[in-house]
Chain A
Amino acid sequence: MLHSHCGSLDCHGQRGRNLRVYGINGLRIGGVSGTGPTTPDEYEATYRSVVVLEPEKLSRVVAEGGRGPERLTLVRKARGAEEHKGGTMAPLGSEADRCLTSWIAGALDGPACAAAAEMWPPEGF
């Protein structure tokens, strides 16, 4: 979900961001952007980038079973509840939002994540 919604080269798939998303559509580790699958090292690097954004807050939210995820800047920005240059990428209640918040809660909503893994153009494109 992070790859498709956040990780392009013109957003969080670049070195200039504190949240960096590594993978096929963005920044690579030892690879060429746009080619080859996302590697385990890149998933790990993305994971580390996410968890160090607000480590104390994230720990509290996780410890409380994922309650109050809006305490996290990551969630607020994705939902468009806080200024975000990329706009609202995971509206409250959307599959992308359910994917993200269920992961934080430790109860991953697999179907929501699978559905959010792709982005589709407007009808008729």
Chain B
Amino acid sequence: MSRAFALISTALLVACGDPVHTDAVDALGPEAHGVEPGPLHRPGQPCLVCHGGKGPGNLEFSVAGTVYKYADSNEPLANAIVKLVDQSGPSTIVGTNCVGNFFVQRTDFDPVFPLWTRIQLGSLDIEMSTPVFGKGSCAHCHQDSPTESSVGRIYVAPPGAELPGGSCP
């Protein structure tokens, strides 16, 4: 009897998946019109919801996010260098693409938190004021608008500062 119950329970779990994860994926909404899934999609969203190992994204990331030029505009910061150093010493460097996205595959860098971060572009060298303690999705804390539970998007310059452009082909 108990064996049958265990088998049924396991079957139900497999069939139903993880409803919390499913809800989190659904909450992200559909792809933007005209943008295929890939390195340029969904800027500003919490990448590891889909790319954290539970799918539906194929690649698993350890850290990923989007960098903007300014706090209050949607202009991405392309071609910037994001440097990540973890508590135990290993580090990695990754570039932002033309929509400001960057991502690190877990197979390349699986950090031990806390994780220190800086962004560099030319003479700009901005260090994140606090370490990252456990969430690889930058957008978990860096949502678009600053609130009581978000510091706002990742940006590097005050309004009006001249920064190099960059647009997607």
In the complex, the chain A residue whose C-beta lies closest to that of B84 is: A125
Q: How many A-B contacts at CB < 8 Å in the complex?
A: 73
Give how many A residues have a beta carbon under 8 Å from the other chain's beta carbons.
26
**Interchain CB contact under 8 A, B134 and A9:** no
Contacts of B133 in A (CB 8 A): 8, 10-11, 86
In the complex, the chain B residue whose C-beta lies closest to that of A10 is: B135
Helix, strand, loop or mixed for chain B's interface?
loop
Helix, strand, loop or mixed for chain A's interface?
loop
> Contacting A30 at CB < 8 Å: which of B129, B130, B146, B148?
B148
Interface size class of B (residues with CB under 8 A): 20 to 34
> Contacting B149 at CB < 8 Å: which of A28, A119, A125?
A28
Q: Which residues of B contact A (CB under 8 A)?
A: 83, 85-89, 91, 112-114, 116, 118, 129-135, 140-141, 146-152
A-B contact pairs, 27 of them (CB 8 A): A4-B130, A8-B130, A9-B150, A10-B141, A11-B133, A15-B149, A27-B148, A27-B149, A28-B148, A28-B149, A29-B148, A32-B152, A33-B146, A33-B148, A33-B149, A33-B151, A34-B146, A34-B152, A35-B151, A85-B134, A86-B113, A87-B112, A119-B114, A119-B131, A122-B116, A125-B83, A125-B118
Q: Which residues of A contact B (CB under 8 A)?
A: 4, 8-11, 13-15, 25, 27-35, 85-87, 119, 121-122, 124-125
